[in-house]
A and B are shown apart, each in its own frame.
Chain A
Amino acid sequence: MSNNKKIEFSPESLALAHKLMKRYPEGKQKSAIIPILHIAQAEFDGWLSAPVMDYVASILKIQPIEVYEVASFYSMFNLKPVGKCVIEVCRTSSCWLLGAEDIIAHIGKKLNIKPGQTTADGMFTLKTVECLGSCGTAPMLQCGAKYHENLTLEKVDALLDELKREGKRKTYLDKI
């Protein structure tokens, strides 16, 4: 993210944020914090910088610390820059039983990164995550909004190639 980029939601995102805040009784607008942080993360390069969180605090009319507290609790919020495509591989129970370790090792080798790291070209971040509720189609990974299930090493290769060719940022808010 360039340093001089002004931190401000697009008009659509700002309207959506205000619409979300109306879902709660008067005075309880803080409840919209998680949905609004999702919008912020999607809009500002896939992660939540301190200035972005301060901006969210100003929308909700709460203290910045209240936003940091929440953002740091939930695993879907990235507090450091990430690649355009965050590859989140499930490493829990059923996925593990059916080869998640091999999938993680394979992606790591192919991209030359360890879990938690980002490729030099800024395209991919590899992340290991806990059960995503897709155990019947294990092993699986999530990238942006989309679940990729019943993985094989070949499928993973094809997916990474396709994502790279597309070169687009993937977010949880993507319409799929």
Chain B
Amino acid sequence: MNYSRRLSQNQSGSNPSSQWNTLTFVGDQLFKPPTDIQDKQEYFSSPQNNFKALTLIRVLRAWNEQQKTTQLNLGREKIPQMLMLQNQTSSFPNQQVVQLSDEVQEHFRNLHKKLDDEKSLYENAQAIVAWIEETEQEYECQTIIAALLESLPVLSSHILLATLNNAEILIVNFDLLNVVSYLLGSENKRVAQSAATYLLVCGGELGERLFQAKLDSGTLPHSPLIQGISKLLC
């Protein structure tokens, strides 16, 4: 089954609730769709989902700028009408933004499984990173990675960060930059260190500033290790 991210431009006559019900994101792990308008408001107003809502909005903005379409209504209730991740077989008249092949989706799903086999996780992460390297929609892909990183089991999260760093995928997306800097505060020392390495190697000047700000805040559980990474790389 293929999913694609779609932007609805012609919503006349369509039922927002039914569209919202089709919203999903590479399996059920990332965005579990509420079933009605009331749920939607609660979903996006809760702090833990706020980031996801912002991510969706940013994708829309980026897409809108790219396509030079007319002004979009980014009101909370309109989000589900505008950003759709739905089955390809749907007759919904949307424009495709990012296409995920069955193979890539399978790699995403595998990362979500709580596996201990690091070799297998690396193979899945490498396939995802290869997909990012080959796509022309780098910004949008990094948005997906940002959302993915936030929801993965810790070992998968570490391995995806390590793979992104090994491939030297430069961070061009503010959401990804935010998530990676957030992961500096992970309780898991491998995640915290791989986030530090990735931020310093591929985060550019802004990444370094975020890194320093997090370190200066004194709230990082593995602060000595994070400082150690900084000394090794800088």
User: A and B: partners?
Assistant: no
* A interface residues with partner B (beta carbon < 8 Å): none
* B interface residues with partner A (beta carbon < 8 Å): none
